[in-house]
Structure 1
Amino acid sequence: MAHPTEMLAETVDQALRQRARRVVPGGMTGHLNAAALPVGYPQFFQRGDGCRLWDVDGREVIDFMCAWGPNLLGYRHPEVEAAAQAQAALGDCLNGPTPRFVELAETLVDTIAHADWVLFQKNGTDATTVALMVARAATGRRKVLAAQGSYHGAAPWCTPVPAGTTPEDRAHLIRFRYNDVASLEAAAAEAGPDLAAVLLAPIRHDLGIDQELPSPAFAQAARALCDRAGAALVLDEVRTGLRLNMPGSWEPLGIRPDLSAWSKAIANGHALAAVTGTDALRDAAGRIFTTGSFWAGGVAMAAGLATLAVARRDGLVVHLERIGSLFRQGLAEQAVALGIGIRQSGPVQMPLVLFDDDPAWEKGMVFCAEALRHGAYLHPKHNMFLSLAHTEADIAQALRATEAGLQAVRQRFGAG
């Protein structure tokens, strides 16, 4: 049977999908594959500007995925792009790093509360992997505790899809339940004296379920456990970094990690990742061997410097909290008015909309498909993201699209 999108009149997007299937296994890889999204969602895009995207068929939408997180300030932010272009005119990938390498490392150390040093990479998976290497080098141990369902990257030790991996790849990974102190302690007991690290997302943002903020008791227990065991507490800030609190997502809880992994937003869409750590782990970080021909590229680092400067100057977190609250409140009011049960969870900077009695996300798919037709790009089960470029006018326009989406849900499934 033909894929539903193939039954539509051919578009530029469909033609590109067909070409891609011939030369790319499956046509697209990983989380960027639009096959799991509602019919009508584009796979290929022409350009982005601010908080808006244009697909290859010219359709304009207000974007609530922000390139799955990297768009922090707005697509093609003029100050970030000017910094990147100025560095590109001098050079990007050279025999060694440019001065931007040192400048950005200094800036990150000044910005991130726990950081005494920085190691650079390119992707979030690079950063989480390097962080665990540092923890193991520092402790001489093997076991790592990670929450059930948490996503920490696509390397064999953590990918959610086991094809191409072996049981040995994750033989030293022990799972526990997020926000469950007893479960965490049981996992630590299983690891025993071989515990190297506890790896945590600052919030629970597993695919398809309600987001969950950490309880202060859980965060404190994780910190105390690592201190007691001589293990490293590692925060995976790849999704949350800068959006929730620029010095670190757990700073408001009074808890600092030993290591943290950063990527996505730190260079506003330019490929860059980083591991930051404390002085106690500096020697271990210097003993491991990790490298990449493109990891010290000057263009992304220049973009990172500009991104951090704009985020500080323009009050990024305050803006995201205000805009996110407007979006959440508007959606809640619409749902009540239409008699539809929805759940919005987690920080307002990272919106998530799930429907009651919708285990297979069918309501979510209808909602998002209709909202897209009215000009808002949402996701039916993944947390979304807001950027500095989203304005009150954009939120008002997007809420008109969500109202149409909620009405479509009511027409299809009824109230409730």
Structure 2
Amino acid sequence: MTSRNQQLFEKSQQLIPGGVNSPVRAFRSVGGTPIFFKKGLGSRLWDADGKEYIDYINSWGPMILGHAHPEVVAAVQQAAANSLSFGAPTGLELEMAELINRLVPSMEQVRLVSSGTEATMSAIRVARGFTKRNKIIKFEGCYHGHADALLVKAGSGLLTFGEPSSAGVPAEVAAHTLTLDYNNTQMLKDTFASIGDEIACVILEPVVGNMNLIVPQQEFLQTLRALCTQHGTVLIFDEVMTGFRVALGGAQALYGITPDMTTLGKVIGGGLPVGAFGGRKEIMSVLAPLGPVYQAGTLSGNPVAVSAGLTTLKLVQAPGFYESLTAKTTQLVDGLKAAAQKAGVPFSAQSVGGMFGLYFSASTPTSYAEMMQADKSAFNTFFHSMLDSGIYLGPSAFEAGFVSAAHSNADIAQTVQAAEIAFATL
């Protein structure tokens, strides 16, 4: 009998490219049929066939409170009753800006947008307008949305200038993007020594979540901050994923590094599409209507989405929230490592706040090159075994995972038990 998931996917492929509205959902990396979901509550999801799963994707991070949190749902319902959109200022936007500034003090001024891609794209435009320079630096394996200038192949060696890694991106658009190795402090020093005064900005995920979870080395972050200051380069922390996920003040609070600009998304929308970018007032003042850098959005600051985000951000400020979230995530990671060791499977794992990474390699990777050496085939087998057991992980060996406040000790114990079965198949 054909499952409802299979029926939906077959029909979707006729109407939607690849049958999905975001590529990783297609299960191309792991094989098999993608899951179509119809309900989420707390730590659980239910698919189109009615099967129940413990969710470790959490909509790729935003559902830090779990699915359908009653206070968030109530806030959305109340806001929606007053109109879904105005295309004009509301007091909620100001409340959100004030809260972000209080929790992330480096963001002296904030502008709301509707996605993480829009936030990073706009932040880079502002940095270029502020510095009057064109070159930007990103790091291999870091993903900052699908803006043209950021879809650049990473190559080996110093000063790998941009080659588009997506069709439809003109080479001349990507030509000003340099890609360096994450956590490679010497490469940073050499690059800035060569062309430091030509670089408008450096953008990075301070904790990488888009080549699985890669943790920054403190020396790397400190050197980056010092070099940007020395050369008048704008340092942008892309905290779309890490913002309010790894700590209340984001990765910048966790590691004690103050960027010039920050981009946010995911958690600040509470599950609805909200993004933000902000930074020092002198930098943000180049934005229209004050300055020459143009950026606009009809649905920016949408009242329904902002209401969901505000309620989420208020709830995560509860005493002990992040300590509890971190402890749960550590408990999960430790349980998985113990299960792998018992089965004799080469495996490592780590976590930061409510994010975690699983690697089929003997040690935790610190760079894109090391991550690529992990056993992708082993992950795929593990993934499908876990899925069969009702554990929903990211359908790729190169994605971080997420724990929510709704996950219980019983959820984690059930996950570890499923992993023991999965490791035994390898």
TM-score by length of 1: 0.91
| Secondary structure of the corresponding residue to residue 251 of structure 2 | coil
Are 1:173 and 2:177 an aligned pair? yes
Q: What's the counterpart of residue 230 of structure 2?
A: 228
1:9-408 correspondence runs (5 A): 9-40=1-32, 42-159=34-151, 161-207=165-211, 211-285=213-287, 286-287=290-291, 288-313=293-318, 315-347=320-352, 349-356=354-361, 359=374, 361-379=376-394, 380-381=396-397, 382-408=399-425
Quickly say closer, same or farther: Cα 1:102–1:370, change in 2 above 3 A. Answer: same
Asked if the contact 1:114/1:258 (under 8 Å) is kept, the reply is: yes
Percentage of identical aligned residues: 32
| Secondary structure of the corresponding residue to residue 250 of structure 1 | helix
2-structure distance, mates of 1:276, 1:47: 34
1:95 deviation in Å? 3.5
| Secondary structure of the corresponding residue to residue 201 of structure 2 | strand
Once the two structures are overlaid, the 10-residue window that deviates more, 213-222 or 28-37, is: 28-37
TM-score by length of 2: 0.89
Asked if the contact 1:101/1:301 (under 8 Å) is kept, the reply is: yes
| Secondary structure of the corresponding residue to residue 217 of structure 1 | helix
Once the two structures are overlaid, the 10-residue window that deviates more, 342-351 or 130-139, is: 342-351
| Secondary structure of the corresponding residue to residue 395 of structure 1 | helix
Quickly say closer, same or farther: Cα 1:377–1:95, change in 2 above 3 A. Answer: closer
| Secondary structure of the corresponding residue to residue 196 of structure 1 | strand
Asked if the contact 2:134/2:200 (under 8 Å) is kept, the reply is: yes
| Secondary structure of the corresponding residue to residue 356 of structure 2 | coil
Query: 1:50-97 CA distances to partner (integer Å, 9 max, x unpaired)?
Result: 111111111100011111112111111111111111110001211313
Once the two structures are overlaid, the 10-residue window that deviates more, 345-354 or 234-243, is: 345-354
| Secondary structure of the corresponding residue to residue 147 of structure 2 | coil
Once the two structures are overlaid, the 10-residue window that deviates more, 379-388 or 266-275, is: 379-388
How many residue pairs align between the two structures? 399
Amino acid across the alignment from 1:171: A
Query: 1:109-155 CA distances to partner (integer Å, 9 max, x unpaired)?
Result: 11112121111111111111111111111111111111122111112
Q: What's the counterpart of residue 5 of structure 1?
A: none
Asked if the contact 1:371/1:405 (under 8 Å) is kept, the reply is: yes
Query: 1:201-222 CA distances to partner (integer Å, 9 max, x unpaired)?
Result: 11233425xx332222111111
1:399 deviation in Å? 1.3
The gaps in structure 1 that reach 5 residues or longer are 1-8, 410-416
2-structure distance, mates of 1:39, 1:312: 40
1-structure distance, mates of 2:274, 2:321: 19
2-structure distance, mates of 1:127, 1:297: 15
1-structure distance, mates of 2:27, 2:143: 20
2-structure distance, mates of 1:348, 1:308: 16
| Secondary structure of the corresponding residue to residue 64 of structure 2 | coil
Once the two structures are overlaid, the 10-residue window that deviates more, 352-361 or 195-204, is: 352-361
1:167 deviation in Å? 0.9
1-structure distance, mates of 2:120, 2:17: 26
1-structure distance, mates of 2:175, 2:83: 42
2-structure distance, mates of 1:228, 1:133: 21
1:42 deviation in Å? 3.3
Q: What's the counterpart of residue 414 of structure 1?
A: none
Once the two structures are overlaid, the 10-residue window that deviates more, 355-364 or 290-299, is: 355-364
Once the two structures are overlaid, the 10-residue window that deviates more, 320-329 or 24-33, is: 24-33
Query: 1:246-266 CA distances to partner (integer Å, 9 max, x unpaired)?
Result: 213122332100101111111
Asked if the contact 1:243/1:320 (under 8 Å) is kept, the reply is: no
Asked if the contact 2:61/2:245 (under 8 Å) is kept, the reply is: no
Q: What's the counterpart of residue 6 of structure 1?
A: none
Asked if the contact 1:202/1:249 (under 8 Å) is kept, the reply is: yes
Asked if the contact 1:178/1:204 (under 8 Å) is kept, the reply is: no
| Secondary structure of the corresponding residue to residue 53 of structure 1 | strand
2-structure distance, mates of 1:282, 1:156: 22
Amino acid across the alignment from 2:313: L
Quickly say closer, same or farther: Cα 1:173–1:190, change in 2 above 3 A. Answer: farther
Amino acid across the alignment from 2:234: A
1:40 deviation in Å? 5.0
2-structure distance, mates of 1:307, 1:271: 13
CA RMSD of aligned residues (A): 1.8
Once the two structures are overlaid, the 10-residue window that deviates more, 79-88 or 26-35, is: 26-35
Quickly say closer, same or farther: Cα 1:82–1:230, change in 2 above 3 A. Answer: same
1:186 deviation in Å? 2.6
1-structure distance, mates of 2:375, 2:424: 19
1-structure distance, mates of 2:75, 2:319: 17
